[in-house]
């Protein structure tokens, strides 16, 4: 039951992670072109790392406990980016959910 609740929360965190990567990258651009380029690059990097190392059907998926550390790290980086974007309450919620979901994943997912 806990695993069924955890999975959609992790998926929501994945989407929030991509949003925060893109929004943070956009904020670092100095003109329209660099903003768009940084945003696209950040999202591609996030999707690329995730699909290579954390996606369920990836041939290179990390084993437990490394998978939990990787996912938690990516989510916490997203929370840090949200904090830097002055979304402090949202960042705190994301950080708490990241830690909680990855603890549940570690305890419920097979090795």
Run of H or E residues at 11: helix 2-28
**Nearest one of 49, 43, 11, 9 to 25, comparing CA atoms:** 43
Q: pLDDT tens-digit profile of 19-64? A: 999 999 999 999 999 999 999 999 999 999 999 999 988 899 999 9
Cα–Cα distance measured from residue 85 to residue 2, given in angstroms and rounded to the nearest whole number: 32
pTM for the predicted model, two decimal places: 0.91
Q: pLDDT tens-digit profile of 83-105? A: 999 999 999 999 999 999 999 99
- Domain map of the chain by residue range? 2-108
Any idea what DSSP says for residue 56? T
């Amino acid at each position: 039951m806990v695993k069924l609740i955890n999975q959609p929360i992790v998926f929501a965190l994945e989407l929030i992670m991509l949003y925060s990567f893109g929004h943070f990258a956009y904020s670092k651009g100095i003109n329209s072109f660099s903003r768009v380029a940084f945003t696209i690059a950040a999202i591609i990097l996030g999707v690329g790392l995730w699909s290579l190392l954390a996606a369920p059907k990836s041939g290179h998926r990390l084993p437990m406990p490394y998978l939990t550390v990787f996912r938690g790290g990516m989510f916490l980086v997203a929370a840090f980016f949200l904090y830097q974007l002055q979304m402090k309450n949202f960042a705190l919620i994301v950080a708490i959910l990241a830690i909680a979901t990855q603890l549940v994943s570690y305890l419920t997912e097979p090795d």
